[in-house]
Structure 1
Amino acid sequence: MTDAAQERRAGIEGATAIVPVRGGSKGIHRKNLRTVRGTSLITRSIEGLLRARGVSRVVVTTDHPDLAAAALAAGAEVIERPAELAEDSTSSEAALLHALGVLGQRGELTPVTVFAQATSPFLDVQALDDAIATVSAHRADAVFAAVLDHGFLWTDKPKGARGLGHDHRERPRRQDRAPQYRETGSFYVFDTEGFLDARHRFFGRISPAITRSFAALDIDEPEDLLVAEAIAALAERQLGIPAPSERPEDDLDVDAVVTDFDGVHTDDRAIIDADGVERVSVHRGDGLGVRLLREAGIPVLILSTERVPIVAARAAKLGVDVVYGADDKAAALREWAASAGVSLERVAYLGNDVNDLPALDIAGWPVVTADAHPRAKASARLVLARRGGDGAVRELADLVLAAREAHPQTPQHRPNGARP
């Protein structure tokens, strides 16, 4: 048990950390369930906050059951957020005020509150503890995570660009310029009563908490996930973050499995004979995995943009549905899911390349092979250990079947009332 956990168990009151997350992210579908080194953003946030000595509890406010389940599994408490407070236009303050209102009704408010964002995968715990201490000692009313920024900002005007906050005709040396701070969004710490009065995270005496540069990364676009994955090992060492497990922390609990063909059932290579006939190599374990899914009552679809008959032949051999020659994978997936009576939120889609991105973006469980294209990996909730054509389908099948065994579903949750 960590020192922080021992202090919480001993009843020492610390700050309450609130993490607002919602299911309707626009830039990246189900963003807070995306993973960095095998651990979802929501789990990374909760685990980081629980390492802080000044945090006594972590509360996640969310509108989505999958996020709620992941939060509970990571050790947080959950407050159900009303749908009207989970819209694109909903402010973070509105979500915080609702959560604090619930805690206030329970008599569970603490003098200091931390507002943390799950989109920051590398939390600087030491900076957070220093910020909590600053507010607790009344040296500031509100503290925000920031990094020192020596950049020159510009704004574009009709008559030409102009320096923002500086005279562009003067170029003082870095050491001669007054320090300026760039807000990272990683965390905000404030006096709880002061926030409830101001109804805004910035009020009274405001102070920056300087974090290390690795902690400044915020996940907003798919490319940000690629950066996070690339620097994760170094960032974790620098910030003292324990190495995460290589597997996701939540079960792959779905009602249907949809896969691409080339690069998933195959190794993405083809042999073409003198007559132009195309031949591919498949993994026998994948075939058994598909059979086990079918026997468990889990519908399987092979969805491919290829127009070659070998795709249909393999699907017939496996006894599963097939759509091939699909120019719009997202539209094809929606149509099939509707006909099968399966919610897209309950579909695992396994792909490997950029043509899978539309389907990965709408599936509740976007999964990719170990050798997938970097952009596909950035859109995935899970990156498998197996490569395409080398048992990736079987690996996914095993995970789905294990989740089904661990969490038997009632018939109304199964497509068309299918039973296990």
Structure 2
Amino acid sequence: MSRSDSTEATAAGAAESGPDRDGVGASGDRAARTGTSPAAAGGGTPAGAVRAIAIIPARGGSQGLPGKNVARVGGVPLVARAVHAALAAERIGRVVVTTDDEEIADAARGAGAEVIARPAELANATASSESALLHAIDALGQEPGGVTVFIQATSPFIDPADLDAAVARVEQGERDVVFAATPTHGFLWRERADDADGASAIGVNHDPSNRPRRQDREQEFLETGAFYVLRTDGFVLAGHRFFGRIGIQRVHPDTAIEIDDAADLARARVLAPRVDRRLAGGIAASLARREGVAWMADPRHPFIDVDAVVTDFDGVHTDDTAAVDELGRESVRVSRADGHGVARLRDAGIPVLILSAEANPVVSRRAEKLGIDVIQGLADKGAALREWAAARGIRLDRIAYLGNDRGDIPALDLVGWPLAVPDAAPDALERARHVLERHGGHGAVRELAELVLAARDAKLGSGASDLARESRELDPAHPTREQREAIAAASSAT
């Protein structure tokens, strides 16, 4: 979990800014500020205290990686991941994204943040993140003595517990600035011009003639750039992020990755399934609390709060096999449990759609029996999904899409909740925000339906305990992991 150990430094005057990874370029002053502020039920902030405001600067342009701030990691745009982490921190009461780009603004609003339009002169290639922060602070009219949390969206793995620990130290007056860093024992080198051979390598943080053992070296810290917690009035006076008494918030090395180019993005996507498993449960529970809902902090039970469910057919409703008789007629295997799940979604007024690349009468018949929409024979599932959602007035970020193969990628990349079955193609798994336990044709659609309905019921007041009752109904042919363990325990006890 979070490491709350700290290391301190003092800045006597102006210090150089750390990594500024807000992106470069601009696409105009197009974003409009919204007026809503997410409600928060404070868990760790003293009663009556002014809760911190998180500001996430996110420019539209990037020379190294175009569209960087809306690139997806673990199925979620980077700017939305930053918003989710900030909303899940109990000591942060308000989350704001300042941007010049409408796509980033839409993703931020969909994730639950307010948006401030970033002026064009503060969104060019030479503008600093500090200038965007100062503009946002002025626009928000922050109260004296407040705390500003500067978060960079290009750090995809931020633990809300680390944010809370850092905010607490600034709120309590222990430090004026606390920033994210990870311990390092690396030997740093720099090349410099040399008259003899043209270049010479020199040690930066060590004497090359003296190589002490790791345990004998004084520990150093690598600034991750993920977040900086600032005493607001001190930051406004200094004009830069390092001033006064400076503290380090140690973060886990797995969360220290920062995305500047395509290689960084690829590495983050590989890490996401492992890191997100550790973070996702707590984030989901915290976000549910923002909705006034009790929710178990278990990444197997994400809080999938959506207004529609869309699925592929082959490999999702079926086990991705087909039987062909002597007359060439195809048949597929489907799960009755899936039919029950779809019926419950329909009864709850949640639209369900099947998107199928292949045009096949069996798909039509199955959709007809389930009483749901179907569109098939598609070359581009993303375009079809956009059209269907627009016709029904459903926001794409309020849709869950369940897929299993490369043809689902255009749709997975559009929705707020991209999901995959466990045996999906690697490219589809890479884009999934959550991977189900059950396979296609073996209750995967019902598992998704139960998660969606549990979130809906919890928001309506029936409580998250419905998940334990409903989603754990025993399917004798395909018991869940918990049911298998319970059966084994019962057998050993008799």
Which category of TM-score, normalised to the shorter sequence, fits these structures? 0.5 to 0.7
Counterparts of residues 148-159 of structure 1 (less than 5 Å): 148=184, 150=186
Aligned twin of 1:319: 371
Given the alignment of the two structures, is residue 229 of structure 1 paired with residue 273 of structure 2, yes or no?
yes
Give me the whole-angstrom Cα distance separating, in 1, the residues matched to 2:165 and 2:211.
27
Alpha-carbon offset, residue 360 of structure 1: 0.7
> Unmatched 5+ residue regions in structure 1?
35-39, 51-55, 72-77, 156-161, 237-241, 409-420
Alpha-carbon offset, residue 85 of structure 1: 7.0
Alpha-carbon offset, residue 266 of structure 1: 0.9
Aligned twin of 1:389: 441
Q: Is the 8 A contact 2:59 2:123 kept in 1?
A: no
Residue aligned with 1:397, SS: helix
2:337 pairs with 264, 282, 285, which one? 285
Aligned twin of 2:138: 101
What's the C-alpha RMSD, in Å, of the aligned pairs? 5.0
Alignment deviations for residues 279-315 of structure 1 (CA, whole Å, 9 cap, x no partner): 2110112223333434444433211223444323322
Give me the whole-angstrom Cα distance separating, in 1, the residues matched to 2:151 and 2:269.
18
Identical positions, percent: 40
Q: Go from structure 1 to structure 2 and tell me whether the alpha carbon gap of 1:124 and 1:184 turns closer, same or farther (over 3 Å shift).
A: farther
Residue aligned with 1:291, SS: helix
Give me the whole-angstrom Cα distance separating, in 2, the residues matched to 1:297 and 1:264.
22
Alpha-carbon offset, residue 395 of structure 1: 2.7
Given the alignment of the two structures, is residue 18 of structure 1 paired with residue 54 of structure 2, yes or no?
yes
Letter of the structure 2 residue corresponding to residue 363 of structure 1: V
Q: Is the 8 A contact 1:354 1:375 kept in 2?
A: yes
Aligned twin of 1:75: none
Q: How many residues are matched?
A: 370
Letter of the structure 1 residue corresponding to residue 268 of structure 2: D
1:350 pairs with 378, 393, 402, which one? 402
> Unmatched 5+ residue regions in structure 2?
5-41, 61-68, 99-104, 192-197, 281-285, 287-295, 461-494
Q: Go from structure 1 to structure 2 and tell me whether the alpha carbon gap of 1:208 and 1:311 turns closer, same or farther (over 3 Å shift).
A: same
Alpha-carbon offset, residue 351 of structure 1: 1.0
Give me the whole-angstrom Cα distance separating, in 1, the residues matched to 2:450 and 2:298.
18
Give me the whole-angstrom Cα distance separating, in 2, the residues matched to 1:123 and 1:298.
31
Give me the whole-angstrom Cα distance separating, in 1, the residues matched to 2:149 and 2:245.
16
Letter of the structure 1 residue corresponding to residue 306 of structure 2: D
1:359 pairs with 406, 411, 429, which one? 411
Alpha-carbon offset, residue 332 of structure 1: 2.2
1:9 pairs with 5, 22, 46, which one? 46
Alpha-carbon offset, residue 134 of structure 1: 13
Give me the whole-angstrom Cα distance separating, in 1, the residues matched to 2:157 and 2:199.
29
Counterparts of residues 17-416 of structure 1 (less than 5 Å): 18-20=54-56, 25-28=69-72, 30-31=76-77, 42-47=83-88, 49-50=89-90, 57-62=92-97, 80-84=114-118, 92-93=129-130, 96-101=133-138, 104-105=141-142, 107-110=143-146, 113-117=148-152, 119-122=156-159, 125=162, 129=166, 132=169, 136=173, 143=179, 145-148=181-184, 150=186, 172=208, 175=211, 182-202=222-242, 211-218=251-258, 221=265, 223-231=267-275, 244-247=297-300, 250-254=303-307, 256-403=308-455
